[in-house]
Amino acid sequence: MTDEPRRRRYSIGVAIDWFFFVFAGLAAIWLAYLSFTETFNVGWWGIAVAIAFWVLLAYLVLPRLHRILTTVYVPDYFIGRARTSDGLLGDPVNLAVLGEAEQIHTAMREAGWTRADPVTLGSSWRIISSTLTRRSYGEAPVSPLFLFGRQQDFAYQQEVDGNPAQRHHVRFWQCPEEWLLPGGSRVDWLAAGTFDTAVGLSLFTLQVTHRIDADTDIERDHIVRTVTAADPRVTVTTLKDFSTGYHARNGGGDSIRTDGDLPIVDVRAVQEATA
Amino acid sequence: MTNAPNKRPAFEPASELLKPVSRDPDMKRPASTVAGALLVFLRVVSGLIILIMIVLDWRNTLKEVDVTIEGVENTPEVAQAALITVVIFLGVVLLVDAALALFILTGHNWARVTVMTFSAISIVGAFIQWWSEGQEITINGSLLTLGLDILILLALSSRSAAAYARRNERR
């Protein structure tokens, strides 16, 4: 017997939370059904009720269902893919970086990339207004994707012709300490770069979202090319066939394909910009 | 036998899901907590409107009151007393509800669990009436109050709201 109190492996409170989490999901399905049948009973108001039904389905019911189901069937260890906030498989992790955060910031800035604003009420409103007025918003936030159970630490992007629907973007996650890539290489950061081609509806949740270009290798090589061209001190080594080449779908239902190479960008020689 | 270390199981045990949450006292208040508290306030406001309607239309409501307690005659005085009791009871419930919304906003887990429990009970009741007694749920009837209950439950049961309410718990 030790004097230390045994730490409980589970928490009853968390079990209660899970009960309500699933119960609310089921209740929401019922509510969606009720509002769907009601759509046909209220004449022209049915259009408004139908929109309410879509909002309910796309932003509350389906995400909750995906969250419950992906908890069951998507493994939570590193499989080379980021996950959406609903737990669905998201963009492929196709870039690794060695170096400090400040060095990445310097290298990306020099290469003509803009850091994305965090998602807040203000920046969300700016996205809507800039889309409606067709104005440019170079620091538009990117949606959160998760790796190691954490949201991205920061993201960079490049606008294309001031069009808010199209942009290059790449998210960065710091690896946990002592964490090794499958195969044993040590990297400091992982990143997922994809190219947004248009605004559309997500296949899995019916939410409004960006569609991404299927050929994620082009975007990966674009990032590597811009960063190495801007600063000769940046070096690149490539892990050939890090993941096998594959076709798949991301969290929005867009198909993706890659040759499976993982470039490791070394920015450790970049001097931090002392502002 | 081999000396190979134990293999990691190919599945994640269910107890992984019940791991206590990590402590994070500096957590920012998430949108789901704010939405949940606002929806509870909305429920208080809608209750308040009903209460005001009763008070403004006191005479007509009084006529509809039909006390059926054994041994009590249905006189106007009894009806008056019954209505006053109901109004006071409703008022207290609304006050408690508003207080709970404030406690949710400041991140008290007991308030969150209490509100979720009562919402769940009311949803189950509505479901039983709809399923086995065929009671219609329409947009002019109980769909709005039911929807409010379900939305409150959805908001408060979300992971961010749960994490915020448990941000001070020790691991």
Distance from CA of A21 to the nearest CA of B (A): 5
User: Which member of A11, A20, A28 has the closest CB to residue B20?
Assistant: A11
pLDDT in tens, B152-166: 999 999 988 998 998
Q: CA geometry: angle at A176 spanning A175 and A181, to 5°?
A: 55
pLDDT at A180 over 90: no
Picking from B23, B86, B96, the residue whose alpha carbon sits closest to that of residue B55 is: B86
Picking from A143, A145, A121, A136, the residue whose alpha carbon sits closest to that of residue A166 is: A136
Instruction: Say whether residue A31 is in contact with chain B using an 8 A CB cutoff.
Output: yes
Q: CA geometry: angle at A207 spanning A160 and A42, to 5°?
A: 135
Q: Which helix (H) or strand (E) holds A71?
A: helix A62-73
What ipTM, to 2 d.p.? 0.81
pTM of the model: 0.78
Bigger pLDDT: A21 or A127?
Answer: A21
Picking from A97, A96, A94, the residue whose alpha carbon sits closest to that of residue A270 is: A97
Q: What is the pLDDT of residue A3?
A: 46
pLDDT at A256 over 50: yes
> In the structure encoding, which two tokens stand for residue A32, read together?
């969606």
Q: Euclidean distance between the first and final Cα of chain A, in Å?
A: 57
- Among the residue ranges A94-103, A156-165, B13-22, B33-42, the one predicted with the least confidence is B13-22
pLDDT in tens, A233-251: 899 999 888 887 667 777 7
Q: What is the pLDDT of residue A55?
A: 87
Bridge partner list, A171: A155, A192
pLDDT in tens, B18-61: 666 667 778 888 888 999 999 999 999 988 988 898 888 887 87
User: Which member of B19, B156, B162 has the closest CB to residue A10?
Assistant: B19
Bigger pLDDT: A25 or A42?
Answer: A25
Write the single-letter amino acid at B117: T
Q: How confident is the model at residue A275 (pLDDT cuts 50, 70, 90)?
A: very low
User: Which member of A31, A67, A76 has the closest CB to residue B147?
Assistant: A31
Which residue in the block uniquely carries the two structure tokens 């076709």? A247
Residue B157 phi, psi (nearest 5): -90, -5
Is B139 in contact with A7 (Cβ distance < 8 A)? no
Contacts of B69 (CB under 8 A, 6+ apart): none
Picking from B27, B127, B30, B60, the residue whose alpha carbon sits closest to that of residue A30 is: B127
Residues of B in contact with A76 (CB under 8 A): 12
Beta strands in chain A (DSSP E): 81-83, 89-92, 95-98, 114-115, 146-147, 150-151, 154-160, 163-174, 189-201, 208-212, 235-239, 246-249, 255-258, 262-266
Q: What is the pLDDT of residue A130?
A: 79
Q: What share of chain B is helix, strand, coil (3-state, %, to 5)?
A: 65, 0, 35
